Structure 1
Amino acid sequence: MTQPAFLNLVLLSGEPEEKLQAARDAGFDQVEIWREDVEACHGGAARLAQQGIGFTNLQVLRDFTGAPGDLRRQKRDELRQFIEMAQALGCDTLQAPATTREDCIAQHIDEDLRWLASEAARFDMRIMYEPMAWCSVDNTLPKAWERLQRLDQPNIGLVVDLFHICALGGDASHLDNIPAERIYEVQLCDMAVQPSPQDKEAIMTLAKHQRQLPGAGIIDINSFVDKLKSAGYQGPVGIEVFNDDLKRQPPREAAQQAYAALRRFWP
């Protein structure tokens, strides 16, 4: 692969160092690592940084934008903790999805994203803004892109996650008019069934327990791949699959299956 191939560690069981070794041995260049993985490692971020694999991003700064009341200050403190951890990993990108809170202060979201971008830029960090299917605001790629386009912050870009697009009935046309350089990563996966876009609980259950490896379900993955390649996308491409059955497998086996699935669609 000419582009970084990554694996989200949520697919794998085991200790953090074991997960990194399994991903590296399978052929991945990078991993998406969770704060919980770093905290679970004896020796922390500094030890994980020595494992010979790159970090696509550190996850996940939840519900940052529009946080109500005192939570807004707490979230800003949390960002600084994430930045410190990312620096120790040698990682320059944090993932901060759109808010899922129903009580978010919508009129604060633009201001919060500007502050987030400014604070991250002080440390040469980038922010991945992800529209998730159950977000209360910016739950689709076009909505998230409209906001980022308006705010025009050079260090905030989009996550393209096929699950979140297709779970709401979307397709590759959601990528239309988004410049390739404003997409910071692409997460491939599949799903066995099409949930009702109105059934948030069903979507969340599928997303967190039953995603499939690319090619094992009903998503037209090639249509997304073709559009991304036509647009000249050059960023990281990888696998984000939350799947209880795969997670019960030895991490080396699960990582190998994930890499093979990725290679089938993005050789």
Structure 2
Amino acid sequence: MTLVTRRTALKTALSGLTAATLLPVSGFAKSTPTLAFSTLGCPKWDLNTILKTAVSSGYQGVEFRGLLGELDLPKRPEFSTQLAETRRRFASEGVRICNLGSSTQLHHADPAKRTQQLDHARRFIDLAQQLGCPFVRVFPDQLPPDQPRDQTLRLISDGLLELGTYAKTASVTVLLESHGELTHTDLLVPIMQAAKHPNVGLIWDIFNMWVDAHESPTAAYQALKPYIRHVHVKDARVTGDKHDYVLLGQGQAPLREAIGALIKGGYQGYYSFEWEKLWHPEIADPEQAIPHYPGAVKRYF
């Protein structure tokens, strides 16, 4: 018969306790975010630098909002004559081109301007299909004072439906960004309800909506949850009507609340770093800001 000593029993119990602490606890598993960055933050980087930085910094995706100063991506050789090579290189490094940021504005009532804007979006949808990119971003943008608000909202939702129908055959989803004069849920929700389509969704720009609409992230998320497919993340210090962009975690953006709402709601998309260097050249250089983001944002998870 084998005798179990007090020391043996204690050792066995401690071993079991140690093993238990290493096991994931149901309901408390730590979320691992899927990260991307927008090329808005690195307007002078070439494709090599963008891809190398994405890999070395631990990003899973890149969101193209221009390349080397050219916002109309189909005009760049990397997205025209060299497109197949661009797609191959990203795939070989395990980095996805996750979104193409067009400049399309959907608020225009003038028929010529509207046609021009919709054609611009279609070119980006065609490019996204060729790249295997899931999303194309468009803007709602303005509420023209000489145009009835209901008409503007209808123009935007009708444009989304038209583009969503076009994108369906390309397996691409058209995303409206909370942007410009349309950052309030009471404007965005009716647009998205009227534009209900499997190939239409929304980009939630957390900071823009919070600083412009003064809505809590929890309330904004609850209202927009059915439509959110992509998220833009940035931080800033706010003084009155002015805000200065700073490295993530050094400002006042309510990111913990927003990311908490996304996690609780089961969001599985990209958390894309939108460092607006192209529009604000005075902010930190991309060599500092873009590698900093992955470690900084993971603290919120």
What TM-score results when the alignment is normalised by the length of structure 2? 0.74
Q: How many residues align?
A: 249
Change (3 A) 1:256 1:188: same
- Per-residue CA deviation, residues 1-26 of structure 1 (Å, 9 max, x unaligned), is 64421111222242122112212210
User: What's the CA shift for 1:194?
Assistant: 4.1
Counterpart of 1:113 (choices 137, 149, 160) is 160
Higher relative contact order (CA 8 A, sep 6+): 1
Deviation per residue, 1:165-187 (Å, 9 max, x gap):
122123212112433x5211111
- Could you tell me how far 1:65 is from its partner in structure 2? 4.0
Q: Percent identity?
A: 20
Matching residue of 1:22: 53
What is the CA–CA distance in structure 2 between the aligned matches of 1:126 and 1:182, rounded to whole Å? 11
Alignment partner for residue 70 of structure 1, among 101, 107, 112? 112
Note the residue ranges of structure 2 that are not aligned, 5 or more in a row: 1-30
- In the alignment, residue 87 of structure 1 is paired with which amino acid? Q
- Please state whether the residue corresponding to 1:28 is helix, strand or coil: coil
Corresponding position: 1:100 with 2:148:
no
Residue matched to 1:48: 86
Tell me the residue number matched to 1:123: 170
Q: What is the match of residue 191 of structure 2?
A: 147
Task: Specify the alignment match of 2:28 in structure 1.
Answer: none
RMSD, aligned CA: 2.4
Higher strand share: 2
Contact 2:161–2:196 (Cα < 8 Å) also in 1: no
Q: Distance in 2 between matches of 1:101 and 1:263?
A: 36
Structure 1 spans left out of the alignment, 5+ residues = 197-201
Whole-angstrom CA distance in 1 between matches of 2:253 and 2:156: 32
Q: How far does residue 223 in structure 1 lie from its aligned partner after superposition?
A: 0.8
1:117 maps to amino acid: G
Deviates more, 1:107-116 or 1:18-27: 107-116
